[in-house]
Amino acid sequence: MRRLILRRLAVETLVVGAVIAGGWFGLLKPLEARLATANARQRSQETRIEAARQEEATRTASPEVRLRELTARATEVDRQSRASGDPATLYDTLTGAAASHGVRIDRLDPKRRATSANRRPGSKTEIEAVEYTIIAIGAFDAVSRFVSQLEHEIGLTRITAIRMAPRPGDSPEEVTATIETSHYRLVRSLLEPDPKPASPAPTKRGNK
Amino acid sequence: MLRSSYLCIELSPTRLEVAVASGRRVERSAAMELDSTEWEAYWADGLMPLDSTLAALLKRVHARKGMRADLFHDGPDTVTLLVSCPVTGDAALRAARLQLAEALPYPGTCNPACCSILSRDRSGDPPRTHVLAAADRDDRAQTLYGWLVRAGCRPNVIAPMEATLIASAARAALADGCGENDVLIFLGERQTVIAAGSGGNLRCLRSFDLGCDLLLEALVRALHPPGHAAPPTPGERERAREFLHTRGIPERDEIIDPSSGMRGSAVLPLLQPIIQRYVVETRQTIRFGMSHSDLSRVRLVLSGPGGRIPRLLELLSNHLDAQTIVSDDAPKFEAGACAASLRECVEHPINNLNLLPRSAEARRVAGVLAGGVRAGALAAGVLLAADGARIANERAKVERMIQANAPIIENIEMEAQIEQRANELAARLADAEASLAATLGEYPDWVATLRQVAAVASDDVRLLEVTGDVGRDGPALTIRGIARAGASEGQEPLSRYLEALAASPLTHSVQLASTRNTVMDDAPARSFVLRAQLHGMPHPIVLAREGKP
């Protein structure tokens, strides 16, 4: 009788204990875990907000303004690059400029150069250059204005050498100018993001 | 305050009484006289012969089914002791248990036994603790338990009647009103307790099986018509009880039954031996239990249910030759009212004195434990639920905060993306501008230089060829021309031309590379070659970069 009562009590205690333990581990523990996760997320948010506030306090310009300024600069560089980089446009520009200043183009010899020669060590920027030898004939002032336009208005252009001599013969007022120019172009626009490095091709593994 | 009522039942060989009590007060009671000669037979039949009597009494007091019942009885194997020991607390209880185990005629371990601390002496070295110890055989306790259960009661306490009597006697002896020479004689139904105390100390206490039930039985036998085969009826017993408590011990010539003309002389031979036993037991107790045995110095104080039996006081006083009085606390007999002994059980219950059968005790303990387990489970469930609710509430609060922060975080992330794009663009731009600066390098303002070279040349200087290049040493200009020869030293046009060129802000230095005498317009002249190092300046795109972040 006594043993029976004790056994029943033990079974009841075990069942109750199991139910409580089940409730604890099955319901409360996962709830607590979720709460801990939510707390961690909230703390992480607070930390991030605080860090952003501190960063904002030390920043002179907002990221939007900075990006706008940088984009404007990049656009300007790109524009100049395009002005001096496209051969057809460049030819038109050169001949147009000469005509506008009353200068005759006697010779216009383009010469392409490799892009790698213009790359700085460690730089990702690729610059393509086209060199021209221009023989222009005209009055000194007209040739001067033509050279000035070459220097300042045709994008990334550099005059590497110039030789000017009076034109012999019937036109003592005219000069013959031999101008060697380099016209540079950025191979890739600055507004294009950097190309992602190509991921290595997946290798096949044999099934064992 | 609402008090739940309960049943208080007294079972003795001569009487079965049921009272409904509430708190410490008897509300109603009913009793039935029993034939003491059937006592052994009742027990032999598991008290089943008393089932109907108990049921009738319960009905009379309007007892509910399942009502809690405290049973006080004079069972045949009940042992009750008062143990006085010079220790306290658990030690006193252990000592009492040991003494009880020694006094029991049956094993104490497998039968219900319990101890209850009654009181402690006020003085002494050390003061003694008085422990009431009681035991019964388990089969007797089970019989009583089963009897109550059969009657529809819920057994709560089963205790010996003698324990209540001893407790009352001890309480009276320890009371402040008890004098040094006072000997208290508690006349119970089945037992008598003699106790003496002074100054809050219990000096002696003795209990013996001699109660006023014996006087009652003698009267019942005397009053029962002679020659009747049938046993005395409960009514006859009731009348005899009333006679005992109202008229007491009769005089020799006193007519005790007017219908039969019976005189006291017919009863006295039956009562005399009982009184004689009272005298002997009292004398022995005083002789062995008290420090002085001189009865002339002793005052006997009668109390208990039989304390007010008329003429008993006088007889004891005469036989013992001692001053005898009746205690003011001795209960008065009221016909049909609850018996004094049962009322005492209700009014002065003894804590922790319970002789429930071991199985019932085990069941009760198991019930308490099971209740505890269920209560614990309920509490745990409530706690789990409360904890769950707390966690859920806290999580909801945190989620609300996360939701509130979400737009800010989104903004921060957007700004971070913009910042990253700006950084990438800034890096690309810086790289491109640095590359362009390195590629374009420095070169002079060719137009300004050519104009300057032409402007400073006078009529005496004729320029034949101007060549500019950007060499390793920076931009330089080579000028080939002819200058007239000067009239004197220091008046050379070539020298002035050199000075004017050197003074130009566009030139860094001017050197005469070679001169040779020649003729210009039939006049002496010098052909010359000049080399001028020019100041270089970066390309406008590079200049625009400088001064910007």
Across residues A137-147, what is the average pLDDT? Answer: 90
- Please give the structure tokens belonging to residue A83: 């002005």
Both tokens of residue A46? 């607070």
Are B83 and B99 in contact by the 8 Å Cβ rule? The answer is yes
What's the pLDDT tens digit per position in B4-42?
Answer: 899 999 999 888 999 999 988 888 999 888 888 889 999
CA distance B110 to A2: 13
What number is the average pLDDT over the span B41-48?
Answer: 92
CB B422 to CB A165 under 8 A? no
Confidence of residue B382 (pLDDT cuts 50, 70, 90): very high
- Is the pLDDT at B547 greater than 80? The verdict is no
Count CB atoms within 10 A of the CB of residue B463.
19
Look up residue B59 and give its amino acid: K
pLDDT-derived band of residue A151, with 50, 70 and 90 as boundaries? Answer: confident
Token pair, residue B413, equals 């992330």
- For residue B48, pLDDT beyond 60: yes
Between chains, do A46 and B405 touch, taking CB under 8 Å as contact?
yes
Return the pLDDT at B397: 94
- What are the CA-CA distances from residue A151 to residues A89, B292, B545 (Å)? 16, 146, 18
How many residues are listed for chain B in this entry?
549
Is it the case that residue A90 has pLDDT exceeding 60? yes
The residue among A14, A31, A75, A150 with the most chain B CBs within 10 A of its CB, best to mutate, is A31
Cα(B3)–Cα(A187) distance, rounded to whole angstroms? 102
Asked whether the predicted pLDDT for residue B396 surpasses 60, the reply is: yes
Amino acid at the residue A67 = L
Count of C-beta atoms within a 10 Å radius of residue B436? 25
pLDDT (tens digit per residue) in A7-33: 887 888 888 889 889 988 988 899 999
Q: Give the whole-angstrom CA distance, residue B232 versus residue B217.
A: 10
Residues shown for chain A: 208
Q: Which of B394, B402, B422 sits opposite A45 (nearest CB)?
A: B402
Q: Average per-residue pLDDT in chain B?
A: 86
Report which of residues B292 and B407 the model is more confident about: B407
- Find the closest chain B residue to A15 by CA distance: B377
Query: For the residues B405-410, what does the mean pLDDT come to?
Result: 92
Nearest to A124 among B384, B398, B431 (CB): B431
ipTM of model: 0.79
Proportion of chain B above pLDDT 70, given as a percent? 95
The one-character DSSP state at B265 is: G
Instruction: Check pLDDT > 90 for residue A137.
Output: yes
Place of tokens 């070679």: B514
Cβ <8 Å between A31 and B388 = yes
Q: How far is it, in rounded angstroms, from Cα B346 to Cα B20?
A: 10
Given a cut of 50, is residue B2 above it in pLDDT? no
What are the CA-CA distances from residue B151 to residues A140, B2, B346, B354, B376 (Å)? 143, 26, 21, 20, 33
Secondary structure class of B62 (helix, strand, coil): coil
Question: Shortest CB distance from B362 goes to which of A5, A52, A120?
Answer: A5
pLDDT > 70 fraction of chain A, expressed in percent and rounded: 87
Q: What share of chain A is helix, strand, coil (3-state, %, to 5)?
A: 55, 20, 25
As given in the structure block, the two tokens for residue A1 are 């009788």
Name chain B contacts of A73, Cβ cutoff 8 Å. 429, 544-545, 548
Reported confidence tier of residue B168, pLDDT bands at 50, 70, 90:
confident
First-to-last C-alpha distance (Å) of chain B: 88
pLDDT at res. B323: 83
B187 or A113, which is more confident? Answer: B187
Tell me what pLDDT residue B106 has.
86
Residue B314 pLDDT: 87
Q: Rg for chain A (alpha carbons), in Å?
A: 38
Q: What is the mean pLDDT of residues B128-146?
A: 91
pLDDT (0 to 100) of residue B54: 93
Question: What is the tens place of the pLDDT at every residue in B419-474?
Answer: 999 999 998 898 888 888 888 888 788 888 888 888 888 788 888 899 998 877 78
C-alpha distances (whole Å) from B354 to each of A83, A92, A118, B104, B349 are 114, 124, 110, 17, 11
How crowded is the C-beta side of B265, counted as CA atoms within 13 Å? Answer: 3
Q: What is the pLDDT of residue A32?
A: 92
pLDDT at B445: 83
